[in-house]
Amino acid sequence: MRYCGVVGLQGYLQLAVLEEVRTPEPPIRLSALFFEPGSSAQLAAELRTLGDVVVAFGTPVSLAPDGHSRRCDELLAERGVTPEPPLAEALRLHLLLNGAAPFTPEASGEQGTVPEGAYRDFPVFETSPDGVFCSLQGRRVPSRRHPVGMQMRIDELLSGHVIDDGGELWHRRTEELDAVACALCAHRYAVGHASWLGDPGGSVIVLPGSSLPDRFSRHGVLPPVERLQLPPVADS
């Protein structure tokens, strides 16, 4: 089984793939492969060669009804995570994967736990890269443009036993880190350690963890630093 993550990158798609590496001693490590950005057709061709896969889209695989927003996006925003915009290439990729039905829970309410074995019937699902990192941290994560934000993202991947076989995670583009975070969520989804939020009759977003908070806290996210005040001057 291979666990795949897909995100957008300047009109193209970024693919990352994880595979379990089992040794006599725990923990199970996850070997990561990263691909050059490509089109939906290129990713579909590659995914077909990988055998059994679970694919996590880090961008919507469905569109909101006209004039409305998707409930899963609203619930994600309420938790402090900005939803990802839909991308035409990602929507095309989903169609090229024979329109595989994304994960839809047989449940009521607006959030719950992904049942064990769900990946067998639903090998495709939607997630959120920032939502994945927030779920792993249990709190908000600073933006990618902040050095602490990048450090926290990489630390979470390393603590999840992700191994970069082609280099160092510190040398990767932000989109590659987002894609492998989605792949890590695909692994958690497959082993039954994930939760969903949204409308079971419509679209849902899957995030790692057995439960999700009502809101990801911002407390203590950034360490305090000193900033000196400039002297006051008269307006010119």
How does pLDDT run across 56-71, given as a tens digit for each residue?
A: 999 999 888 776 899 9
On whether the CB atoms of residues 58 and 182 are closer than 8 A, the answer is yes
* Average pLDDT estimate for 106-131: 94
Greater confidence, 142 or 87? Answer: 87
Q: How many residues appear in the chain?
A: 236
CA distances (Å), 117 to each of 97, 190, 192, in order? 20, 7, 7
pLDDT of residue 194: 98
Please give the average per-residue pLDDT across 132-143, as a whole number.
92
Share of the chain above pLDDT 70, in %: 99
Q: Rounded distance, CA 168 to CA 122, Å?
A: 32
Mean pLDDT of 13-33: 94
Compute the average pLDDT of residues 26-53. Answer: 96
Both structure tokens of 42: 């290129």
What is the distance between the alpha carbons of residues 103 and 149, in angstroms, rounded to a whole number?
Answer: 29
On whether the 2-208 domain is CATH 3.60.90, my answer is: no
Q: Residue 5: helix, strand or coil by DSSP? A: strand
pLDDT at position 193: 96
pLDDT confidence of residue 145: 86
- pLDDT level of residue 218 (50, 70, 90 thresholds): confident
In a 10 Å sphere around its CB, with 0-12 CB exposed, 13-18 middle and 19+ buried, how is residue 12 labelled? middle
Average model confidence (pLDDT) across the chain: 93
Cβ-Cβ contacts under 8 Å for 198 (sequence gap 6 or more): 70, 71, 72, 75, 110, 111, 204, 205
Percentage with pLDDT > 90 across the chain: 80
The kind and range of the H/E element at 81 are none
pLDDT digits (tens, 9 = 90+) for 34-46: 999 999 999 999 9
pLDDT in tens, 148-192: 889 999 999 999 999 998 999 999 999 999 999 999 999 999 999
Read off φ and ψ for residue 41, nearest 5 degrees. -65, -40
pLDDT score, position 236: 62
Q: What is the pLDDT of residues 205-215, one digit of tens each?
A: 999 999 999 99
How far is Cα 11 from Cα 64, in angstroms, rounded to an integer? 20
Q: Is the pTM of this model over 0.85?
A: yes
